[in-house]
A and B are shown apart, each in its own frame.
Chain A
Amino acid sequence: MPLPHLPLDAITIGAHVDDWPAAITAAGDALVRSGAATSAYTDRMIAVIAEFGAYIVIAPGLALAHARPGADVLADGLCVVTLAEPVAFGHPHNDPVSVIVGLAVANADDHLQFVAELANVFNDPAVIPALASAATAEFVQSVFEKIDS
């Protein structure tokens, strides 16, 4: 499975949020808008962090919001939310977070290729700061589409 297309309606630029649950909710809203998930998936993404902590903050400034596959996942999907003001998730090294990538996978068994493509994007250390300061959704989309070529 290649990286799912990142439609413009799955991108939110400069969201204003006060705390990490609001940041995850913004990512959930983007997945709902693009048709990848229902709002129940948002609640499950928040529950993962409530249960296991801020380990989803996997790089400086970046949170990977996700939960297990479920009936609330309508299609494989990706979303990107950038924050107007970074928020703390409680990670000792990678806080504060200014970019949230939301991931919905319909089937756990075949998401590895998808994630490998995601790793290809973010293995470039310039990408997180570039996304954090992105002015337009089109720019964010172009960062994720570069890897297809």
Chain B
Amino acid sequence: MFFKLNTSIGQPFYVQLMQQIRHAAESGALQDGDQLPGIRTLAEELVVSPNTVARAYSELEHEGLLELRQGSGAFLTIKRRARGLTERVQAASRKVEDLIEELHQEGLQDNEIWRLFETALFHRAEIGAE
């Protein structure tokens, strides 16, 4: 893959590398199992300190996006991860709105719906459900 480092955007090089690798993984430019160049090779290519590349790789390894194998470089590990939290919250919020709409049509008032939700959640907490 191609990298581009910018000295004038006020962002450490290792952060720029991490973002570009993440973006390549999201856009499909990099796929599961793809190999990235070794630390030394990439540092020489970009003419940046090897510590910069090492830091980007090790933080991405920590995030679970890269797997570093001794001597053979870095491999992408894109798993079917759970959808992002924001996405899930948005979907849930749509479901809740639909439900409220439906209950309105059945003649329930906001305060009654509110109590129903509260009671249901309270009940779940009481019985120790998740």
A and B physically associate: no
Interface residues of A (CB under 8 A from B): none
Interface residues of B (CB under 8 A from A): none
